[in-house]
């Protein structure tokens, strides 16, 4: 029986995880946390009466305490944004494996979190679909034989819109993702491709490769989730329906695999296409590479500025194209410092949020 804590249990990842637990044997819900969705959380409390429940609100201390105190084998981290970092650390430090859907954990503090996992003898199992695919493709392979990783991207809500029309798009239009059903922040990040920028950084940290060896291709059909190129120039791809249940299940069962007939992808009659992303249309992608090149706290700045800018866009304070302008300004002004401790990471995150809000106030 695998005991599972789900952080962000009322969000998209949390709900998919619960669907798996309800329909398959061998799992026990040990703990459930939600940020503000009290009604949904209490309903789940009635359904899983043995689980520890926490409505965390903004009380991070309580959340970390709950993760540490609850007996479990694995923590599914489905929290959105930088708020997911310390819960990831608490999970690993209290001897639990980490099924990681919160990409910010690796973006903000990848090297540090990897060290914490190693020190505690615990595993980080990627739940991001691209990274789950890469994890499966790389398993058991000699790293020396891998030339590059290729992440695919859907291109988001404005894939077919000319770049010069982007400044006029609305929040409602940006929230219409063509292939995946996800939370609002990540859907906007898909439209700007900041999501892919974060994923390039995440892949560098998960698989210990420099960003030059991580490529991105737009693949509108979202059947190929990632590819690897080996040094003999063979390409290996992972294909499946765009459904988060597969990467979640892979993380929960690893190193085992369970038969799952219901999400079978048939390829007959399907066309698969790939194009290079246009850096002028998707500036958040080259900006992520710039953040990695800056090193140190560069990725922390990229993420914090983006989170604040996306929040302002959702609230109607700025235009869609302002998101990249704001992140670019913050990156060009930042002096990256080292980030060897969680304190340094969190301090940079906080400062950058304040500065980004000031930039936005000037703009609007
Ligand atoms: Mg992804």
Tens digit of each residue's pLDDT (9 = 90 or more) over 104-156: 999 999 999 999 999 999 999 999 999 999 999 999 999 999 999 999 999 99
- How many Å lie between the centroid of ligand 1 and the Cα of residue 296? 24
Q: Tell me the CA–centroid distance for residue 129 and ligand 1, in Å.
A: 5
Alpha-carbon distance of 171 to 184, in angstroms, equals: 10
**The two three-digit tokens of residue 299, written as one number:** 């990725």
Three-state SS string across the chain, please? CEEEEEECCCCHHHHHHHHHHHHCCCEEEEEEEECCCHHHHHHHHHHCCCCEEEECCCCHHHHHHHHHHCCCCEEEECCCCHHHHHHHHHHHHCCCEEEECCCHHHHHHHHHHHHHHHHCCCCEEECCHHHHHHHHHHCCCCHHHEEEEEEEECCCCCCCCCHHHHHHCCHHHHCCCCCCCCCHHHHHHHHHCHHHHHHHHHHHHHHCCCHHHEEEEECCCCCEEEEEEECCCCEEEEECCCCCHHHHHHHHHCCCCCCCHHHCCCCCCCCCCCECCCCCCCCHHHHHHHHHHHCCCHHHHHHHHHHHHHHHHHCCCCCCCHHHHHHHHHHHHCCCCCCCCHHHHHHHHHHHHHHHHHHHHHHC
In the sheet that holds 124-126, the strands lie side by side as 52-55, 27-34, 2-7, 74-77, 97-100, 124-126
Ligand 1 centroid to 250 CA: how many Å? 15
* pLDDT confidence of residue 72: 98
Tell me, in angstroms, the distance from the centre of ligand 1 to residue 284's CA: 15
Omega cis (within 30) before 255:
yes
Output the CA 199–ligand 1 centroid distance in Å: 7
* Ligand 1 midpoint to CA 180 (Å): 10
Asked if 283 contacts 33 with a C-beta cutoff of 8 angstroms, the reply is: no
CA of 152 to the centre of ligand 1 (A): 9
- pLDDT tens per residue, range 153-189: 999 999 999 999 999 999 999 988 777 767 789 899 9
Distance 135 CA to ligand 1 centre (A): 13
What is the number of other CB atoms lying within 10 angstroms of the CB of residue 298?
22
Taken in order 201, 83, 186, 243, is the CA torsion positive or negative? positive
- What integer pLDDT is reported at residue 335 of this predicted model? 85
Distance between Cα 272 and ligand 1 center (Å): 18
Ligand 1 centroid vs 364 CA: distance in angstroms? 31
- pLDDT score for 102: 97
Q: Tell me whether strands 214-218 and 124-126 are parallel, antiparallel or unpaired.
A: unpaired
Q: How far is the CA of 354 from the centre of ligand 1 (A)?
A: 28
Residue that is written with structure tokens 């249990």 in the block? 9
pTM here?
A: 0.96
131 Cα: distance to centroid of ligand 1 (angstroms): 7
| CA 82 – ligand 1 centroid, Å | 16
Per-residue pLDDT of the chain in tens (364 residues, 90 and over written 9): 999 999 999 999 999 999 999 999 999 999 999 999 999 999 999 999 999 999 999 899 999 999 999 999 999 999 999 999 999 999 999 999 999 999 999 999 999 999 999 999 999 999 999 999 999 999 999 999 999 999 999 999 999 999 999 999 999 999 887 777 677 898 999 999 999 999 999 999 999 999 999 999 999 999 999 999 999 999 999 999 999 999 999 999 999 998 887 889 999 999 999 999 999 999 999 999 999 999 999 999 999 999 999 999 999 999 999 999 999 999 999 888 888 899 999 999 999 999 999 999 988 7
Beta strands 52-55 and 235-239, pairing class? unpaired
Question: How many angstroms separate the alpha carbon of residue 212 from the centre of ligand 1?
Answer: 19
Q: What is the dihedral of CA 59, 63, 69, 72, to 10 degrees?
A: 170
């Amino acid at each position: 029986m695998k005991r599972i804590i789900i952080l962000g249990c009322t969000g998209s990842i949390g709900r998919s995880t619960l669907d798996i637990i309800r329909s398959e044997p061998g799992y026990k819900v040990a703990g459930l946390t939600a940020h503000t969705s009290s009604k949904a959380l209490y309903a789940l409390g009635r359904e899983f009466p043995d689980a520890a429940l926490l409505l965390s609100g903004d009380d991070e201390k309580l959340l970390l305490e709950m993760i540490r105190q609850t007996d479990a084998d694995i923590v599914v981290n489905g929290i959105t944004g930088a708020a997911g970092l310390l819960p990831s650390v608490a999970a690993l430090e209290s001897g639990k494996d980490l099924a990681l859907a919160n990409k910010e954990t690796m973006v903000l503090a990848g090297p540090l979190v990897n060290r914490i996992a190693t020190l505690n003898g615990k595993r980080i199992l990627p739940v991001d679909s691209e990274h789950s695919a890469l994890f499966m493709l790389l398993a058991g392979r000699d790293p020396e034989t891998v030339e590059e990783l290729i992440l695919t991207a859907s291109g988001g809500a404005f894939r077919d819109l000319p770049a010069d029309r982007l400044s006029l798009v609305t929040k409602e239009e940006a929230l219409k993702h063509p292939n995946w059903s996800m939370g609002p922040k990540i859907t906007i990040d898909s439209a700007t491709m900041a999501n892919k920028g974060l994923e390039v950084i995440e892949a560098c940290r998960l698989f210990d490769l420099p960003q030059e060896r991580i490529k991105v291709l737009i693949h509108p059909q979202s059947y190929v989730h990632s590819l690897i190129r080996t040094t003999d120039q063979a390409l290996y791809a992972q294909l499946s329906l765009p459904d988060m249940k597969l990467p979640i299940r892979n993380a929960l069962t690893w190193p085992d695999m369970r038969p799952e007939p219901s999400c079978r992808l048939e390829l007959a009659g399907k066309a698969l296409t790939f194009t290079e992303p246009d850096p002028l249309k998707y500036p958040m992608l080259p900006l992520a590479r710039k953040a990695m090149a800056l090193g140190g706290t560069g990725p922390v700045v990229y993420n914090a500025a983006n989170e604040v800018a996306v929040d302002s866009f959702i609230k109607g304070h700025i235009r869609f194209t302002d998101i990249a302008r704001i992140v670019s300004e913050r990156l060009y002004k930042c002096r990256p410092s080292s980030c060897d401790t969680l304190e340094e990471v969190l301090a940079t995150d906080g400062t950058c949020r304040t500065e980004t809000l000031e930039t936005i106030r000037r703009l609007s």
